[in-house]
A and B are shown apart, each in its own frame.
Chain A
Amino acid sequence: MQRFIPLIIVSALVLLFLGMMLSDRNPKEIDSVLIGRPVPAFSLESLAQDAPVLTEADLKTGKPVLVNFFASWCVPCRAEHENLMVLAGQYRIPVIGIAYKNEADKARGFLSELGNPFAKTGLDLDGRVGIDWGVSGVPETFLVDGEGVIRYRHWGPIVGDSLEKRLLPELERLQ
């Protein structure tokens, strides 16, 4: 029995490391503490010329909405943009876009170039709203339920299979 102990320990470690490598956990991703909390209060100017300011009240619509933090200078945001268009178009989820540390005309240029999936927009020039939401970088996408409570946060771009595997199941659970 004694002589098998090293073998058992090594195989346990191999299993542990393999499991960690194969799971799609990203070690840089830190769990959001905002899950289950109501959205923080904010008030942001819209990117559209004559639209009213965007506030937390715009997120309490009785239906789930997505809040996407993006920026024209952010390359992964470009990569996920197509999926945002799909979410807004095919799945009919209202997506609210918050331009994080981005000048208004640059953010507008980004949307006119790639298409605008956003039902409403806000301009977070100094990134303070982002900090209130615990954003550590763009893109980050939050799923907010009908009562304005944050239910899920998607860290990083919605690319690859993360739309089907992560975001859509969370959406279905709410609907």
Chain B
Amino acid sequence: MIRFFKMVTLVCGFSLPAYAVAVDEKPLPDPVQEAQARELMKEIRCLVCQNQSIEDSNAELARDLRAIVRERVALGDSPDNVRAYLVDRYGDWVLLKPPVKSSTYFLWASPFFAVLVIAALVFRRRRAVPTAAPLSDEEQAELQALLAQRTGEERS
């Protein structure tokens, strides 16, 4: 019986983080909307900690932004509208995943550029390796002489 209790406590204890909500925050009553809001929070960058999402951040501004996300979702805003609401105030920077548009083409294309540049370098290197010219008769004779000398030394 005690073992059973221990197990139950353990299982409950480990699964608690799954329900983690900051203490002073009320999740939305509708679980579908709450899930939608949580998904959005993961995409929104905290302006204070900068490389955390507002879902991860403890900053007060992040808490306010979480409240706004929940509020907009509860009002029936689509995820795109919620994003637009925040981008309108804080710019594209607030999105952890930058949108593809003319000012970010270079950003999105840069990994492909990098691959191309590396490929070009590797290719050039490969080609640059000089293939050895065949030995001339003279060199061949010298080589044979050296080899003969060496085998002679080894035997003695």
Contact = CB atoms under 8 A, between A and B. Distances in A.
Verify that A and B bind, or say they do not.
yes
A32 B47 CA distance: 12
A82 interface: no
A132 B48 contact: no
Contacts of A131: 61, 64-65, 68, 89
A30 B60 contact: no
Interface string B133-148: 0000000000000000
B61 A30 contact: no
B76 interface: no
Contact of B90 (A126, A128, A134): A134
Contact of B91 (A30, A132, A133): A30
Given A136-B48, A137-B48, A30 B93 contact: yes
B78 interface: no
Nearest to A34: B89
B104 interface: no
Interface string A20-33: 00000000101111
A33 B61 contact: no
B64 A134 contact: no
A101 interface: yes
B88 interface: yes
Given A127-B64, A131-B65, A30 B47 contact: yes
A132 B64 contact: no
B50 interface: yes
- Which of A33, A127, A137 counts the most chain B CB atoms within 10 A? A33
A136 B89 CA distance: 10
Contacts of A127: 60-61, 64
A127 to B, nearest CB: 6
Contacts of A33: 87-91
Interface string A24-47: 000010111110000000000000
A132 B89 CA distance: 6
Contacts of A30: 47, 90-91, 93
Interface in A95-152: 101, 126-128, 131-134, 136-137
Given A101-B60, A131-B65, A131-B89, 18 more contacts: A28-B50, A30-B47, A30-B91, A31-B91, A31-B93, A33-B89, A33-B90, A33-B91, A127-B61, A128-B64, A131-B61, A131-B64, A133-B89, A134-B89, A134-B90, A136-B47, A136-B90, A137-B48
Interface of A: 28, 30-34, 101, 126-128, 131-134, 136-137
